[in-house]
Amino acid sequence: MSHLPQLIHDLALILIVAGITTLLFKRLKQPVVLGYLLAGLIVSPGFSLFPTVTDTSNIRIWAEIGVIFLLFNLGLEFSFKKLMRIGGTASVTALIEISVMLGIGFAIGRALGWPLMDCIFLGGILSVSSTTIIIRTFDEMSLKGKRFANLVLGVLIFEDLVAIVLMVLLSTIAVSRQFAGTEMLLSVVKLVFFLVLWFVGGIFFIPSFLRWTRRLLNDETMLVVSLGLCLMMVILAFEAGFSPALGAFVMGSILAETTQAERIEQLIRPLKDLFGAIFFVSVGMLIDPIVLSNYALPITIITIAFIISKIFSVTAGSLISGQPLKTAVYAGMSMGQIGEFSFIIATLGLTLKVTGDYLYPIAVAVSVLTTFTTPYMVKLALPLYKTIDRYLPPRWKKILLRYSEGTQSISTASDWQIVLRSYFFYVILLSIMILGTIFMFSRYVAPWVAVHLSNGYVGLIITSVLCLLVLSPLLWALVVRKLQQEAFASLWGNKKYRGPLLFLRLVRAGLGIVYMSVLLLSFFPFHIALIGTMFLVAVAIIFSQQIHEFYIRIEERFFFNFHHREIQEAKAARHELAPWDAHIAQFSLPVGSPVTGMNLEEMGLRERLGINIAMIKRSDYIISAPSRYEKVYPGDKLFVIGTDEQLEQFSKHIEPLNGKTPEASAPKEVVLKRMVISAESVFRGQTIRESGIREKTSGLIVGIERDGRRILNPESTTMFAEGDTVWIVGDKYLIAAILREMQR
């Protein structure tokens, strides 16, 4: 007789207990992450009152998968373009805050008499806030439209990137057991090389691949393809000597630049939630109640010191970056917790066996305590600001106001600063890429070619030619690509600057020749490398036009892929929205809202609240600049323009009565669904009234897309034609029944 594998027993126990605890925490209006941690404590071997998990090794494997999916999802929300857009304010704030917290964590560890490695890892654990907890708190408190929330989200994006770097540095320190400056620098250079290599390669190939196969990518195949890409990058990161979580994060950030990012995020959410739950339960399983009781004093000290230091460092960083006092205080009070990356850093210490067994449960305990305090800290931000404002000397207020206004109106950098900064960054980045590629080919590719293809000079020629083909776009970009054309042209117009500008071009050309020489010297003797370099330079000059055209095609493909999602969103949102970005907030109309089914004229938002709805998004159906007759339905994403106060009033205006969805409507799930009229459809040739769809779905037909033209709120006499895409708002299950009927 076959027996049930122990893994299924353990998973059943974990999910049943986690389900009960998360329901309890939802009822208490607390983050469900805490429910998962409690579930882990209950099913852990150290808690004998209930059945416990017996095969912890299998659960650890599932938890590692959970970390991969969590980081993949964070990457999808991250986007390197977001990092470039957050500007100096968020990056300066984050750098100051992270530096302070690294020092505070290290100092607390030393004061408690802990070993050096425990102190270093404690600093890393305390330096990163919880993206999940903060975003969820902002959602629950309707704060996403506030200006300080944009600053906090920008800091979180920067923190995620720094956390990745910290993981690499901490691994290096843990292995070497010392602060080896050269080794750490090489680790950072290696990280930059692989990040840029993966990102550039990913942006060049993956968006194109998704476009070419879009007709084949239904939800099932898209899920399989995206997870396959994620795990492929996980393997590449591991083979390169990095954490698998880094690979998942990188692939997520690459896919975040594609037009399929939101769709992929929705598809993987159930998997992320499932495996993420197992990860947090496994975190809870590592909590030892005896250790917690023995280290109650350090936990209390670390928690209090962390909250105070975090508030101070974020507030100070915000003020230094030029934010007003109110925004700085709100930002500081919002970031007083540790979360996902902190757990991963703590796990890294355990895995590498460089930290004590007590550090992990202490980190979890601090996380739990600070997670509980987060909503209350945000609520206390306004009273704290008023208190500071009341007692702050008027002279200091003027200084802060003048400084804030001054940083907001800093004059544009000079043309020379723009050109030199661009040249320096560009040359350094390309140099790392070129030298890293040469090293990779000489260290790994050449031995493989010698074993599998050909040994001796033939193998070296094959390797060097392959390396040159890979490097040719980078070398050509280094030598000829125009940088900061407006600033360069402005300087070129002044004859006295032409000499220095020509010198900069000659430096780039010289570097290109040097790197070609380094490439050939990596495989051949000096005299052959010298002849080869002269030959390649001559070929580059003779065929410069053809090489440049080839390079332009590659560059255009890359930047088209890089900006494609942004271009599509700009088309949908129309560029008129751009000037008001600072005052635009996005709201999702909840089920049971008193304005459901009303048109914009009936709502009278402009007259009552002074706000305007600039755009309505239903699934991927965009209504830009909606007319006053446009109605709103549950699930609509409303892009609203107004001040912080007006947006707050609007948020309350659309909430269900008494803050609750009416009980009678609870069983009905109202959704927006798409239906395509095929040649065999029973509805083809019928009018909306004749089809009876409204009655069958208890809903409305809100739009028809026909030959690229959109018919909003069509009349009941409108006749369905083959190829029509029909949008229906109604009961989820009734619509599903209609769709099944069409497929018969």
327, 151 Cβ separation under 8 angstroms: yes
Do 653 and 734 have their domain in common?
no
Does the pLDDT of residue 86 top 70, yes or no?
no
Task: For tokens 């209390």, name the residue.
Answer: 300
Is residue 551 situated within a structural domain? Answer: no
List of residues 6+ apart from 574 with CB closer than 8 A = 615, 624, 625
CA nearest to 472, candidates 519, 439, 538, 506: 519
DSSP 3-state assignment of 565?
Answer: helix
How far apart CA 324 and CA 644 sit, in angstroms, is 15
pLDDT tens for residues 218-255? 888 888 888 898 888 888 888 777 778 778 888 888 88
Is residue 565 situated within a structural domain? Answer: no
583, 643 Cβ separation under 8 angstroms: yes
**Cα→Cα distances 718→515, 691, 713, Å:** 67, 11, 10
pLDDT tens for residues 640-656? 777 666 777 787 778 87
Is residue 187 situated within a structural domain? Answer: yes
Query: Who has greater pLDDT, 737 or 396?
Result: 396
Examine the fold and report which residue of 602, 635, 663 is the final residue of a domain before the chain moves on. 663
Burial 40-59 (b: 16+ CB within 10 A, else e): bbbbbeebeeeebbeeeeeb
Does the pLDDT of residue 633 top 70, yes or no?
yes
pLDDT at 81: 63
Does the pLDDT of residue 355 top 50, yes or no?
yes
Burial 358-392 (b: 16+ CB within 10 A, else e): bbbbbbbbbbbbbbeebbebbeebeebbeeeeeee
How far apart CA 274 and CA 223 sit, in angstroms, is 15
Pick from 154-168, 306-320, 444-458 the range whose average pLDDT is largest: 306-320
Do 170 and 281 have their domain in common?
yes
114, 123 Cβ separation under 8 angstroms: no
DSSP 3-state assignment of 727?
Answer: strand
Do 280 and 338 have their domain in common?
yes
The distance of Cα 260 from the centroid of its chain, to the nearest Å, equals 14
**Cα→Cα distances 339→136, 209, 376, Å:** 13, 35, 17
How far apart CA 208 and CA 219 sit, in angstroms, is 18
pLDDT at 72: 84
pLDDT band at 573 (very low <50, low <70, confident <90, very high): very low
Q: Pull the structure tokens for residue 66.
A: 């959970």
pLDDT at 625: 64
Q: What is the 8-class DSSP label of residue 719?
A: B
pLDDT at 710: 67
How far apart CA 261 and CA 256 sit, in angstroms, is 5
How far apart CA 359 and CA 69 sit, in angstroms, is 25
pLDDT at 621: 65
pLDDT at 175: 63
CATH of the domain at 75: 1.20.1530.20
Query: Who has greater pLDDT, 421 or 19?
Result: 19
Please list the alpha-helical segments (H only) found in 654-731: 688-691, 693-697
Does the pLDDT of residue 92 top 70, yes or no?
yes
How far apart CA 259 and CA 206 sit, in angstroms, is 11
Do 634 and 724 have their domain in common?
no
How far apart CA 275 and CA 230 sit, in angstroms, is 15
Task: Give, rounded to a whole angstrom, the gap between the first and last alpha carbons of the chain.
Answer: 43
CA nearest to 385, candidates 315, 314, 335, 307: 315
Range of the domain at 236: 6-381
Do 372 and 453 have their domain in common?
no
Do 56 and 104 have their domain in common?
yes
How far apart CA 648 and CA 646 sit, in angstroms, is 5
Q: What is the mean pLDDT of residues 38-57?
A: 75
Does the pLDDT of residue 333 top 70, yes or no?
yes
463, 441 Cβ separation under 8 angstroms: yes
Does the pLDDT of residue 526 top 70, yes or no?
yes
Q: Pull the structure tokens for residue 247.
A: 């690979």
How far apart CA 206 and CA 65 sit, in angstroms, is 23
β-strands 621-624, 725-731: how paired?
unpaired
Do 647 and 528 have their domain in common?
no
pLDDT at 669: 53
Amino acid, res. 548: H
Q: What is the mean pLDDT of residues 381-406?
A: 80
Do 236 and 181 have their domain in common?
yes
Is residue 600 situated within a structural domain? Answer: yes
pLDDT band at 121 (very low <50, low <70, confident <90, very high): confident
Residue 335 phi, psi (nearest 5) = -110, 25
pLDDT at 661: 44
Do 69 and 151 have their domain in common?
yes
Pick from 323-337, 488-502, 656-670 the range whose average pLDDT is largest: 323-337
Do 212 and 95 have their domain in common?
yes
| Range of lowest pLDDT (58-62, 369-373, 670-674, 675-679) | 670-674
Q: What is the mean pLDDT of residues 445-467?
A: 80
pLDDT at 568: 63
Is residue 392 situated within a structural domain? Answer: no
List of residues 6+ apart from 548 with CB closer than 8 A = 476, 480
How far apart CA 77 and CA 264 sit, in angstroms, is 11
pLDDT at 142: 66
| Range of lowest pLDDT (145-149, 336-340, 363-367, 376-380) | 145-149
726, 677 Cβ separation under 8 angstroms: yes
Examine the fold and report which residue of 636, 663, 690 is the final residue of a domain before the chain moves on. 663
CATH of the domain at 693: 3.30.70.1450
Is residue 227 situated within a structural domain? Answer: yes
Percentage above 90 pLDDT, the chain: 0
Q: What is the 8-class DSSP label of residue 687?
A: B
Q: Pull the structure tokens for residue 433.
A: 């890429």
44, 287 Cβ separation under 8 angstroms: yes
How far apart CA 454 and CA 555 sit, in angstroms, is 33
How far apart CA 164 and CA 188 sit, in angstroms, is 11
Q: What is the mean pLDDT of residues 692-710?
A: 72
How far apart CA 605 and CA 601 sit, in angstroms, is 8
CA nearest to 617, candidates 600, 590, 636: 636
β-strand partners of 673: 728
Do 44 and 62 have their domain in common?
yes
pLDDT tens for residues 576-619? 333 333 346 778 888 778 888 788 877 877 667 777 777 787 76
Percentage above 70 pLDDT, the chain: 82
Is residue 566 situated within a structural domain? Answer: no
How far apart CA 627 and CA 604 sit, in angstroms, is 12
Q: Domain total for the chain? A: 4
pLDDT band at 514 (very low <50, low <70, confident <90, very high): confident
- Which strand ranges, in their side-by-side order, compose the sheet holding 709-712? 670-676, 725-731, 700-706, 709-712
Is residue 387 situated within a structural domain? Answer: no
pLDDT at 740: 66
Q: What is the mean pLDDT of residues 500-507?
A: 83
pLDDT at 575: 40
Q: What is the mean pLDDT of residues 143-160?
A: 74
The overall average pLDDT reported for the chain is: 77
CA angle 259, 263, 266 (to 5 degrees): 150
355, 118 Cβ separation under 8 angstroms: yes
Do 202 and 59 have their domain in common?
yes
